[in-house]
Amino acid sequence: MIRFALLLVGAFLASDVHANNVTNGYECAKISDAEQRLECYDSVYQLTEPTDIEHSLSVIENRRLNEEAVRDNWFAITPHRPNYILPATYNTSPDFSAYGPAGDLFSDTEVKFQLSLKTLLFDELWQNSSISVAYTQQSFWQLYAEDEISAPFRETNYEPEFMWEIPLNHEILGFEARQLTLGLVHQSNGRAQPLSRSWNRVYSQIALDRGNLAVMAKVWTRIDDPDIDDNPRVEEYMGRAEFGFAYRYRDHTFSMDIKNSLGSDYRSGVELNWMFPLAHHLKGFVQIYSGYGESMIDMEQHINRIGIGVALSDWL
C-alpha cells in the first residue's frame, strides 16, 4: 500500500506543474539563435553577466540544462547514472559458493565498473515532459583471480530502462521539487540457472534540491508473472524503495544511496561515493558499499566493499 500511495502522490504532483506554461530556463535552451537565447536567460534569471547563468541554476536544473543543450542532435547520448571504473575493490566478506569449484579460485579483490547512458526519444510533450530510454551495465571482473580460471567476468547486471520525465515546480519542506520520473525497468544478469537472476518493475521517482544538495526518492512495484518467477524473494534483498542524496562542494561531489526492502526485516544496502578533481574531464572516485543488493548474484549476501578509481560522469 505504501508503494502505491507514493506512486499516486507522484502522479498528483505531475498534474499540477506549469499549468500556465510559464517561461523557464529549459525553454530558453531550445532557442537556436544565440543572442535571443541569452536574452531569454537574462529575462528568466535577471542576470547581468552571461557567466552567472550556471551559478544561478540549482544542481538539478544545471544537469537538465546540460542534457537539453545537446539533445536536439539526433539520438544524442548523455550520461544517466555515474560512469566509472574502480581498478581495485576489496570485499571483506565474499561468498563465492554459488560458482562451485571455480569460486575457490576467485580473489577478494576485483575490478568494478559501470556504464550508464541515456538518449531522448520524444520531447515537448504534455507539461514540457519528455520520454527517454537508458541503459546501465555494472560488471565485476575477477582480474586478480588465480591463473587457472583466466580472469573471468564474475557478474554483469544489465538494466535497460524506459522513462517519462516531467518537470516540476513545487516547494516541499524547504526543497524545490524539480522532476518527476515514471519508468519501466528490466534488470538481469543474463545467466542460465542456477545463477540466473532477473526482475521487471515500474517505478515513480521524484528529484528535489536546495542549493547544492539534491535529494531523490524512488519507489517501485514488481510486475513479473508469479507463475514463472525464478527469484520470488528479489524484493527482500534488492529493495522496494531507494533514497539518494548528492552534495556538491566546489569541485567535489559526495553522494549516498540507500535501498530498503520496506519489509518486516528492513534489509538495506548503502552506497557512499566521493568524486574529486583529478584531471580534465576525469575525476577521482572512492566508493564504499555495505549491505544487501549490490549485485543480483550477491543480493542475498551482506557485502562490505571499498574501491578506488576514476569517474567520467557525475550525478550532478
List pLDDT tens digits, range 289-309. Answer: 999 999 999 999 999 999 999
Q: What is the mean pLDDT of the chain?
A: 83
Most confident option among 34-43, 74-83, 229-238: 229-238
Asked if omega into 194 is within 30° of 0 (cis), the reply is yes
Catalytic site residue from 186, 268, 290, 302: 186
Residue of 299, 277, 134, 185 whose CA lies nearest to 232 = 299
Torsion, Cα 184 188 190 191, to 10 degrees, reads: -150
Q: Which residue has the higher pLDDT, 187 or 7?
A: 187
Report the alpha-carbon distance of residue 188 to residue 302 in Å, rounded.
20
Average pLDDT in the 243-261 region? 94
> Which residue has 567535489 as its cell numbers?
252
Report the alpha-carbon distance of residue 272 to residue 286 in Å, rounded.
8
Q: What is the pLDDT of residue 21?
A: 40
Q: What is the pLDDT of residue 133?
A: 95
Catalytic site residue from 129, 132, 188, 198: 188
**pLDDT over 90 (residue 183):** yes
Is 188 catalytic? The answer is yes
Residue 55 near residue 39 (C-beta atoms within 8 A): no
In total, the chain counts a number of residues equal to 316
* Percentage of the chain exceeding pLDDT 70: 78
What is the architecture of the domain spanning 2-311?
A: Beta Barrel (2.40)
Q: Which residue has the higher pLDDT, 298 or 37?
A: 298
Average pLDDT in the 44-54 region? 49
Is 15 catalytic? The answer is no
Q: What is the pLDDT of residue 233?
A: 87
In this prediction the pTM is 0.79
Report the alpha-carbon distance of residue 131 to residue 107 in Å, rounded.
42
Q: Which residue has the higher pLDDT, 227 or 16?
A: 227
> Which residue has 574501491 as its cell numbers?
307
Name the pLDDT band for 71 (thresholds 50, 70, 90).
low
Average pLDDT in the 163-190 region? 93
